[in-house]
C-alpha cells in the first residue's frame, strides 16, 4: 500500500494519521507553506515551519493550534518520522519528508531552485518516492536569476520618471522578493498597496532586507507619485484604488509573462518574468537529484512532465490529481 494517498480531505498518511496541505478540515494538518491553496482553515492542529507562523496566523486566525518547527527537526507520528526541509518557494516554505520503515517519501509542496534573499534555498532530499509540483512544467519556462529580473524592473522604473510606475505582483512572496532584490540597486522608498503592507512587517521581523515602504493609504491625496515605484496585487488593477495615479506605466511580474501575449491579454504595458516556482530545467533536475524511483506529479502541467520523466528520463512517473493551484494571488 502507498505511504501517502489522496483522500477527499487531501494527501493522507495512514501510518502517521496526518494530512499534508489538506483542502478540507482534518485533525492534524502538516503545512508546506502559507499560500491559500496549501493552507486552509478549519483543521484542529497545524504543524509548519516556525518562520511561517506569522503569515499562517494572519491568514488562518491568531488562535489556531499551530506547532512551529525548525528545518530538519524530526517528529514522530504513529509509525512514521516526519521532518520539514527548505523548498525555496516563499518565507517558511518546506518539503515534507515522511519515513516509514525503509520507505521514504517527500512531498515537495511548491518550490524553486534559483536564489531568493527572502527564503532558505531549496534542499535536495533523497527519497524513494517524490511528489512534485508542475506549475510551469513546459520547456518554454526557463528563468533568469531574480537579480537579473530585478535589474530589469529597476531600469524600467528609472527610464520614465515623469509617471508613476506601478508593478503588479502577488502580495505574499513575490512582492517581498521584489523589494528585497531591488536593494542591490537602490535605497529609494517604494509605495505599496495595503494587501502587501500587511505582510511586509512579518518579513522584516524575520530580518529579511527590503526597501523602505509606505502604504498608499498613508499618503495625502495631493501626492502625485511622479517617478515613484508602487507595488500592488493584481486585484488592484482596474480598481478604484488606481484612480489616485495619473497616467501610470504598468507592469506585471510573474512566471506567466514568459508566454507570448500574456501581458497584452492582462492589460499591462510591460511584463517581467519572475516566478517563485521551479522552471522546466529545475523540475527535471530536482526529480533526478532526489534519486526517486517513483514520482507523482501534481498541479500544473502534470501530464506533460510525467510523460517526459517516463519516456525520456526513464523514471516511473504519473500524474496525481489534487486541488492545489498554480502561481496566483493566493
> What CATH number has the domain bearing residue 126?
3.60.15.10
pLDDT confidence of residue 264: 74
How would you write the pLDDT of the chain (330 residues) with one tens digit per residue?
Answer: 599 999 999 999 999 999 999 999 999 999 999 999 999 999 999 999 999 999 999 999 999 999 999 999 999 999 999 999 999 999 999 999 999 999 999 999 999 999 999 999 999 999 999 999 999 999 999 999 999 999 999 999 999 999 999 999 999 999 999 999 999 999 999 999 999 998 999 999 999 999 999 999 999 999 999 999 999 999 988 889 999 999 999 999 999 999 977 777 778 999 999 999 999 999 999 999 999 999 999 988 999 999 999 999 999 999 999 989 866 653
Examine the domain organization and report whether 131 and 9 are in the same domain: yes
Classify residue 324: in a domain, yes or no: no
Helix, coil or strand: residue 212: coil
pLDDT confidence of residue 330: 39
Query: What is the domain extent for residue 78?
Result: 4-140+277-319
Examine the domain organization and report whether 132 and 10 are in the same domain: yes
Examine the domain organization and report whether 68 and 151 are in the same domain: no
Domain count, the chain: 2
Number of neighbouring beta carbons within 10 Å of residue 268: 22
Classify residue 330: in a domain, yes or no: no
Q: What is the CATH number of the domain that holds 162?
A: 3.40.50
Classify residue 329: in a domain, yes or no: no
Examine the domain organization and report whether 46 and 82 are in the same domain: yes
Helix, coil or strand: residue 163: coil
Classify residue 42: in a domain, yes or no: yes
Classify residue 328: in a domain, yes or no: no
pLDDT confidence of residue 35: 96
Examine the domain organization and report whether 93 and 217 are in the same domain: no
* Cα–Cα dist 240/243, whole Å: 6
Examine the domain organization and report whether 102 and 44 are in the same domain: yes
pLDDT confidence of residue 128: 98
* Cα–Cα dist 154/168, whole Å: 14
The answer to whether 209 and 117 are in contact (CB under 8 A) is yes
Classify residue 214: in a domain, yes or no: yes
Buried/exposed code over 27-60 (b: 16+ C-beta within 10 A; e: otherwise): ebbbbbbbbebbbbeebeebbbbbbbbbbbbebb
Amino acid at each position: 500500500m502507498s505511504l501517502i494517498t489522496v483522500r477527499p480531505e487531501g494527501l493522507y498518511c495512514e501510518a502517521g494519521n496526518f494530512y499534508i496541505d489538506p483542502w478540507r478540515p482534518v485533525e492534524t494538518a502538516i503545512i508546506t507553506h502559507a499560500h491559500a491553496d496549501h493552507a486552509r482553515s478549519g483543521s484542529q492542529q497545524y504543524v509548519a515551519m516556525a518562520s511561517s507562523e506569522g503569515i499562517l496566523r494572519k491568514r488562518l486566525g491568531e488562535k489556531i493550534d499551530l506547532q512551529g518547527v525548525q528545518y530538519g527537526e524530526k517528529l514522530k507520528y504513529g509509525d512514521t518520522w516526519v521532518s520539514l526541509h527548505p523548498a525555496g518557494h516563499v518565507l517558511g516554505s518546506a518539503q515534507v519528508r515522511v519515513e516509514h520503515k525503509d520507505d521514504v517519501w517527500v512531498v515537495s509542496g511548491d518550490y524553486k531552485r534559483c536564489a531568493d534573499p527572502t527564503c532558505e534555498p531549496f534542499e535536495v532530499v533523497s527519497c524513494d518516492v517524490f511528489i512534485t509540483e508542475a506549475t510551469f512544467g513546459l520547456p518554454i519556462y526557463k528563468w533568469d536569476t531574480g537579480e537579473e529580473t530585478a535589474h530589469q524592473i529597476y531600469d524600467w522604473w528609472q527610464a520614465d520618471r515623469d509617471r508613476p510606475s506601478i508593478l503588479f505582483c502577488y502580495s505574499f512572496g513575490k512582492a517581498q522578493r521584489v523589494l528585497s532584490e531591488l536593494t542591490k540597486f537602490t535605497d529609494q522608498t517604494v509605495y505599496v498597496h495595503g494587501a502587501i503592507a500587511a505582510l511586509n512587517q512579518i518579513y522584516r521581523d524575520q530580518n529579511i532586507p527590503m526597501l523602505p515602504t509606505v502604504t498608499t493609504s498613508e499618503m495625502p491625496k495631493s501626492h502625485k507619485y511622479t517617478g515613484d515605484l508602487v507595488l500592488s496585487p493584481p486585484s488592484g488593477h482596474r480598481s478604484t484604488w488606481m484612480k489616485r495615479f495619473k497616467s501610470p506605466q504598468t507592469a506585471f511580474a510573474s512566471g506567466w509573462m514568459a508566454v507570448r501575449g500574456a501581458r497584452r491579454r492582462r492589460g499591462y504595458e510591460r511584463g517581467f518574468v519572475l516566478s517563485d516556482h521551479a522552471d522546466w530545467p529545475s523540475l527535471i533536475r530536482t526529480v533526478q537529484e532526489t534519486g526517486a524511483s517513483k514520482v507523482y506529479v501534481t498541479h500544473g502541467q502534470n501530464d506533460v512532465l510525467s510523460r517526459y520523466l517516463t519516456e525520456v528520463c526513464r523514471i516511473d512517473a504519473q500524474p496525481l490529481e489534487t486541488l492545489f493551484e498554480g502561481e496566483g494571488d493566493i
